[in-house]
Structure 1
Amino acid sequence: MENRRVKKQTCGTICLKYLLFLFNILFWLAGGAVLAVGVWTLTEKSDYISLLNSSFYSASAYILIAAGVIVIVTGMIGCCATLKEMRSLLIVYLILLLCIFLLEIVAGLLAYIKYQECFPLCFQLDEELRQNLKVNMQQKYQQPGEESVTQAVDRLQQEFMCCGSNNYTDWKDSVWIQRADNARLVPDSCCKTPDDLCGIRDHPSNIYNVEGGCIMKLESFTLSQLYILGAVGTGIAFLQLVGMMFTCCLHHSLKEEPY
């Protein structure tokens, strides 16, 4: 009977090791996905976000990167602790999981409270972002020393298939458009088929005439990034609960198992 009891405990420990190792692989992959989204946002879309003159949206990319790195490092610690059956490292791993989980809860609560506080000002904030984008387009496009803004605006209009901040009529007040030697009515990047001087016609058949303009497309993109952050955070939080349960079970099993 004693031998059968010991064998059962040993098999249970092996199963727990495999389950916890599988969890760490999933946890590590989740961290890699979060890190990849953050780096992609920062490298490919940061110039769009910079047009809004708002640190709120760019901060989301840095949060994704930091969260991804923390999750990857924690997953590596968990793999080492599981494979080497180090009870002390398992405790460190459990504490890290618990800290990340608590930070996610605190961050979620603060975001909810902040949203409730600023809800009456949401329309005012949206209008401020619209004005920032409009000013950047009208005052800085094709101006000396503002090459980065010019490139960002052209990429924005082509990639999101839009023209102007609110609509294509915003360009009529542009410093560049109002130049005497400029025959264009809108930038060439507004054209559905970009070509040199194609911006001399602002007919909807020639240019993008999207309701809400580029600001709506840009806001949709940045909100989608925040949704991704929330969805991945929720998934990781669920994984953490499972991981903490497996870690506690494995630690207890290693403690009770006879050598």
Structure 2
Amino acid sequence: QLSIELKQNLKNTMTQKYQQEGEESVTSAVDKLQQEFKCCGSNNYTDWADSLWIRSQEASGRKVPDSCCKTITDLCGRRDHPSNIYKENGCITKLENFIQEHLKIIGAVGISIACVQIFGMIFTCCLYKSLKQEPY
């Protein structure tokens, strides 16, 4: 269920909000996502064909954003050849893997903190018991 929601929301964000007025933070986040994870589009590079920006004059004939390019140059998104863009991978799979890997770390830290707290409670109980038995 979460995977389906994530896929739909990511694709919708990329196609509807990328390079739109007032959505500069979305554009920056999508560009960073595509460059950091070496991916293009939500499922793959063809997702960009539905983009409002790609279909507009502002895209200057690009087929994908320049952030999909392996080496970013101005207007490199006009050429969607595999040697030029991250054609084989969509960002959704890589994003899901990233989240899953980091959830394990967060879980491990949480369990560690819980163990320290339990140890502290046991120590406190022992200390309380020993103080209660000894008169002042």
TM-score normalised over the length of structure 2: 0.86
1:84-107: CA deviation from partner (whole Å, max 9, x where unpaired) = xxxxxxxxxxxxxxxxxxxxxxxx
Indicate the residue corresponding to 2:8 in structure 1: 131
Indicate the residue corresponding to 1:230 in structure 2: 107
Query: What is the CA–CA distance in structure 2 between the aligned matches of 1:239 and 1:180, rounded to whole Å?
Result: 59
More moved, 149-158 vs 177-186? 177-186
Indicate the residue corresponding to 1:183 in structure 2: 61
Find 1:200's aligned residue among 78, 88, 98.
Answer: 78
Superposition map of 1:24-103 within 5 A: none
Shift of 1:183: 1.7
Does 1:156 pair with 2:53? no
TM-score normalised over the length of structure 1: 0.48
Q: Percent identity?
A: 67
Corresponding residue pairs, total: 135
Which structure carries more relative contact order (alpha carbon 8 Å, separation 6+)? 1
Q: Which runs of 5+ in 2 are unaligned?
A: none
Of Structure 1 and Structure 2, the greater helix share is in 1
1:151-208: CA deviation from partner (whole Å, max 9, x where unpaired) = 1111111111111000011111211111245221110111111121111111121111
Structure showing greater Rg = 1
Does 1:220 pair with 2:90? no
Indicate the residue corresponding to 1:143 in structure 2: 20
Query: What is the CA–CA distance in structure 1 between the aligned matches of 2:78 and 2:54, rounded to whole Å?
Result: 10
Q: Which runs of 5+ in 1 are unaligned?
A: 1-121
